[in-house]
């Protein structure tokens, strides 16, 4: 029988029961490989539940540094009898099945084209430990021990990680090391060697291993957010929790011990966005983190902030919709809901981070943009980036950087007789001046409202005032184009007829797919969009290619719609490629879908020197 052979390039999937402590053991496995200088990309595939339901943890070991989900499984660690059949089915032919053989499993439930590694884990645990919780937790460590033996992972790296985790808790440290050795010893004596292997490399460099939600929260700390109002919702809750954690360390007044921040867990998303808008109106940088259902609840307020021109930052960690949808699965399905959130003619600025590094960067930038543009700004991350630890460029910050507080009229300017019209465009960029409440005893006060007003913020239902205001808002959105991050081009090695557009968490799988396609002789120019409104470069890029594949993780091709609506793109030139089953998009999927379409579309290069 064939054996999958690979060094530093394979996928191990753990099938567990949630609430059993498996997640931290599996993370340990991933980190140990990372410490050996080999990049990994782990993904937690979990249920909306606390205890007892199936959960999976997939670790891609990838010397090339391909951090997207690959698809396929080379080794399954099957620890959950509930999902046995499906887990066994998922293994690639020639792959490996590691399982707990304490209870006999009928032959019919195995496959003949995979290699079986049986270890009586429960028996071993029951023989070694008497306490029920210990039996449970150390079972996880014992199988990690066996895997390190099989895959030749250096146990010293795991012991170092234990040492960091259990600093000052020597007893816990020792018992963990003992469990690890128990697993290693059993595997050495009883299991046949396999052909998957980890070898030490130096491919990680200075990169950091962090989840996007923590990165976004840290971006808000660095970007100067002082007010955070939120309501718990998967997969965004850990943004606010990380903001709490970081501010407790980084934002406490050293002399008084008082906080330079305020965090409120609101009663719902209507209240959380209301608080963010109140704080923004009053001159504090504020943000909320939420997901699709939260955005739906917030839309009335988002329209108010748009029309009354109040800064607000909304970090939307997208999940599967519609309605409650797939709360623990990933999608990019809120693009249109956020771009046009609220009734009436509204448009909002969206930023699309590709990884934790950009979650950090763009959250900080969103706070600047929201104040510069006096409008809500969305950071459109998703569960795949937000809740998985990802290898990422280290965070950077230029200490000379100052916050852009936008056009705020001061008491001195008012005293000097400046003409203050809250909704008056004084310099053609569509952005008016604002004043903070309490600035001046007699000047600069105004009444903020969601209803129509004239340029001086006086209530008005006059058509001309309304038209002036709407056109100014349109001008402001034009101005936004020059402020939001530019798209990033990955040019093919040869001139190409076809192109691909992608955004957000599709990025790592896309880059891997581009390499794979090039190996097949298919060369594609790829443009990663990083923001809405779309710059003119994007329309130009599309116009200069025969067909443009638009890679999206939603069913309705939402970005494609937005491109047609807002960038004046010919719909016939766009070919949506959609992945929407709730799992992260894979390079295999992209490669196959593009290769198929190219072969149909192709077929002759228009000019001799151009290849498809």
Q: Are 311 and 375 spatial neighbours (Cβ–Cβ below 8 Å)? A: yes
Q: Is omega for the bond preceding 206 within 30 degrees of 0, making it cis?
A: no
From the list 99-107, 247-255, 587-595, 598-606, the region that binds other proteins by CB under 8 A is 247-255
By CB under 8 A, residue 163 contacts other proteins:
no
Decide if 73 contacts 61 (C-beta within 8 A): no
Among 235, 274, 533, 584, indicate the residue that binds other proteins (CB under 8 A). 274
Among 51, 108, 258, 609, the residue binding other proteins under the rule CB under 8 A is 258
d(CA 351, CA 357): 13
Q: Which of 183, 120, 94 is nearest to 147 (CA)?
A: 183
Beta-carbon contacts of residue 358 (< 8 Å; ≥ 6 apart): 530
Q: Which of residues 128-147 bind other proteins (CB under 8 A)?
A: none
- Sign of the dihedral through C-alpha 9, 76, 382, 405: negative
Q: Which is nearer to other proteins, 177 or 220 (CB)?
A: 220
Q: How far is the CB of 276 from other proteins (least distance, A)?
A: 6
Q: Is 277 in the site for other proteins (CB under 8 A)?
A: yes
**Residue 420 Cβ vs other proteins, minimum distance, rounded to whole Å:** 12
Binding residue (CB under 8 A) for other proteins from 251, 481, 547, 597: 251
Using CB under 8 A, which of 64, 111, 401, 474 touches other proteins? 401
Q: What is the separation, in whole angstroms, between the first and last Cα of the chain?
A: 38
Nearest distance, CB of residue 386 and other proteins, angstroms: 16
Cα–Cα distance between 221 and 65 in angstroms, integer?
A: 29
When the beta carbons of 77 and 161 are compared against other proteins, the nearer one is 161
In 3D, which of 512, 521, 527, 493 has the Cα closest to residue 591?
512
Pattern 187-216, other proteins, x by CB under 8 A: -------------------xxxxx------
Verify binding: residue 248, other proteins, rule CB under 8 A: no
Among 278, 325, 406, 421, binds other proteins (CB under 8 A): 278
Listed ranges 39-47, 278-286, 478-486, 589-597: which one lies at the site for other proteins (CB under 8 A): 278-286
**Closest separation in Å from C-beta 325 to other proteins:** 24
DSSP strand E in 19-176: where? Answer: 40-45, 54-62, 73-78, 91-100, 115-119
Cβ proximity to other proteins: between 235 and 274 the closer is 274
Closest distance of CB 30 from other proteins, Å: 13
Alpha helices (runs of H) in 191-289, residue ranges in sequence order: 212-222, 237-250, 269-281
Which listed residue (156, 172, 250, 489) binds other proteins by CB under 8 A?
A: 250
3-state SS, residue 465: helix
Scanning 86-94, 115-123, 218-226, 559-567 for contacts with other proteins by CB under 8 A, the matching segment is: 218-226
Distance between CA 281 and CA 6 in Å, rounded? 57
Do you know the residue count of the chain?
612
Q: Determine, following the binding rule CB under 8 A, whether residue 154 of this chain makes contact with other proteins.
A: no
- The secondary structure element, H or E, covering residue 528 is strand 524-529
Q: How far is the CB of 407 from other proteins (least distance, A)?
A: 16
148, 435, 454, 505: which one binds other proteins (CB under 8 A): 435
Q: 563 by DSSP, 3-state: which?
A: helix
Q: How many CB atoms lie within 10 A of CB 330?
A: 32
Judged by CB under 8 A, the chain residues 280 through 339 that form the site for other proteins are 280-284, 286, 300-301, 304, 308
Interaction between residue 218 and other proteins (CB under 8 A): yes
Does a cis peptide bond (omega within 30 degrees of 0) precede residue 322? yes
Tell the smallest beta-carbon distance from residue 153 to other proteins (Å): 18
Q: Which stretch binds other proteins (CB under 8 A): 51-59, 72-80, 125-133, 434-442?
A: 434-442
Binding status of residue 385 toward other proteins by CB under 8 A = no
Nearer to other proteins, 239 or 585 (CB): 239
The CA distance from 610 to 497, in Å, is: 7
CA separation for the pair 591, 514 (Å, rounded): 7
Listed in order, strand segments (DSSP E) in 307-363 are 312-318, 349-351
Nearest alpha-carbon partner for 556 in 542, 571, 576, 585: 576
Report the nearest approach of other proteins to the CB of residue 557 (Å).
32
Euclidean distance between CA atoms 565 and 555, whole angstroms: 18
Site size toward other proteins (CB under 8 A) is 73
Binding test (CB under 8 A) with other proteins, winner from 226, 330, 558, 586? 226
Our CB check for other proteins shows the closer of 438 and 568 to be 438
Q: Which stretch binds other proteins (CB under 8 A): 193-201, 217-225, 425-433, 590-598?
A: 217-225
CA 392, CA 389: separation in Å to the nearest integer? 9
Q: Which of 72, 224, 325, 406 binds other proteins (CB under 8 A)?
A: 224
Q: Which is nearer to other proteins, 118 or 263 (CB)?
A: 263
Contact 78, 21 (CB under 8 A): no
Tell me how far apart the alpha carbons of residues 368 and 357 are, in angstroms, rounded to a whole number. 17
Question: Which residue(s) pair with 349 in the sheet?
Answer: 377
Site residues (CB under 8 A) for other proteins, limited to 437-476: 437-443, 445-451, 459
Binding string, 72-101, against other proteins, x = CB under 8 A? ------------------------------
Q: Which of 107, 108, 168, 253 binds other proteins (CB under 8 A)?
A: 253
DSSP 14-54: EEEETTSSHHHHHHHHHHHHHHTT--EEEEEE--S-SSSSE
Are 529 and 504 in contact by the 8 Å Cβ rule? The answer is: no
Q: How far apart are CA 33 and CA 75, in angstroms?
A: 15
Stretch that binds other proteins, among 189-197, 220-228, 521-529, 604-612 (CB under 8 A): 220-228
Instruction: Report the residue number, 216 or 574, with the smaller CB distance to other proteins.
Output: 216
Closer Cβ to other proteins, 275 or 577, answer by number = 275
């Amino acid at each position: 029988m064939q054996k999958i052979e690979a060094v530093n390039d394979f996928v191990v999937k753990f099938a567990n029961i949630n609430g059993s402590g498996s997640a931290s053991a599996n993370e340990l496995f991933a980190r140990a490989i990372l410490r050996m200088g080999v990049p990994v990309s782990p993904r937690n595939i979990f249920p909306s539940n606390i205890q007892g339901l199936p959960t999976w943890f997939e670790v891609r070991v990838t010397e090339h540094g391909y951090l997207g989900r690959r698809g396929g499984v080379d080794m399954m660690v099957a620890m959950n009898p509930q999902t046995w059949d499906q887990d066994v089915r998922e293994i690639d032919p020639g792959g490996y099945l590691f399982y707990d053989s304490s209870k006999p499993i009928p032959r019919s439930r195995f496959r003949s084209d995979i290699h079986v590694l049986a270890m009586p884990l429960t028996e071993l645990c029951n023989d070694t430990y008497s306490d029920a919780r210990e039996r449970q937790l150390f079972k996880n460590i014992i199988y990690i021990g066996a895997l390190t033996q099989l895959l030749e992972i250096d146990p010293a790296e795991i012991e170092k990680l234990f040492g960091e985790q259990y600093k000052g808790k020597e007893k816990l440290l020792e018992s963990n090391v003992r469990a690890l050795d128990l697993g290693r010893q059993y595997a050495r004596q009883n299991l046949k060697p396999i052909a998957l292997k980890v070898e030490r490399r130096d491919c990680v460099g200075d990169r950091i291993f962090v989840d996007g939600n923590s990165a976004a929260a840290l971006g808000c700390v660095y970007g100067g957010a002082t007010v955070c109002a939120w309501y718990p919702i998967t997969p965004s809750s850990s943004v606010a929790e990380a903001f709490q954690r970081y501010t407790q360390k980084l934002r406490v007044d050293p002399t008084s011990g008082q906080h330079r921040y305020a965090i409120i867990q609101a009663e719902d998303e209507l209240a959380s966005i209301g608080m963010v808008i109140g704080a923004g109106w009053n001159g504090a940088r504020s943000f909320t983190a939420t997901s699709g259902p939260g955005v739906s609840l917030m839309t009335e307020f988002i329209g108010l902030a748009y029309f009354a021109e109040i800064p607000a930052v909304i970090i939307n960690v997208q999940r599967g919709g519609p309605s409650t949808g797939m709360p623990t699965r990933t999608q990019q399905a809120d693009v249109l809901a956020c771009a046009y959130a609220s009734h009436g003619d509204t448009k909002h600025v969206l930023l699309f981070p590709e990884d934790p590094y950009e979650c950090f960067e763009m959250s900080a930038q969103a706070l600047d943009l929201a104040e510069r543009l006096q409008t809500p700004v969305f950071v459109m991350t998703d569960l795949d980036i937000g809740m998985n630890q990802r290898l990422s460029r280290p965070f950077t910050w230029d200490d000379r950087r100052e916050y852009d507080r936008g056009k705020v009229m001061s008491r001195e300017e008012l005293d000097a007789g400046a003409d203050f019209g809250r909704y008056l465009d004084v310099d053609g960029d569509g952005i008016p001046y604002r004043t903070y409440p309490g600035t001046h005893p007699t000047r600069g006060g105004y009444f903020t409202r969601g209803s129509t007003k004239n340029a001086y913020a006086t209530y008005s239902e006059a058509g001309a005032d309304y038209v002036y205001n709407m056109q100014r808002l349109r001008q402001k959105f034009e101005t936004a184009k020059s402020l939001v991050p530019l798209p990033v081009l990955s040019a093919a090695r040869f001139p190409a007829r076809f192109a691909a557009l992608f955004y957000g968490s599709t990025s790592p799988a896309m880059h891997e797919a581009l390499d794979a396609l090039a190996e097949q002789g298919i060369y594609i120019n790829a443009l990663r969009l990083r923001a809405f409104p779309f710059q003119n470069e994007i329309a130009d890029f599309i116009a200069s290619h025969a067909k443009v594949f638009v890679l999206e993780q939603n069913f309705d091709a939402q970005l494609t719609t937005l491109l047609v609506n807002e960038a004046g793109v010919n719909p016939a030139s766009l070919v949506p490629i959609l992945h929407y089953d709730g799992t992260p998009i894979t390079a295999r999927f992209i490669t196959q879908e593009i290769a198929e379409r190219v072969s149909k579309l192709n077929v002759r290069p228009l000019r001799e020197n151009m290849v498809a």
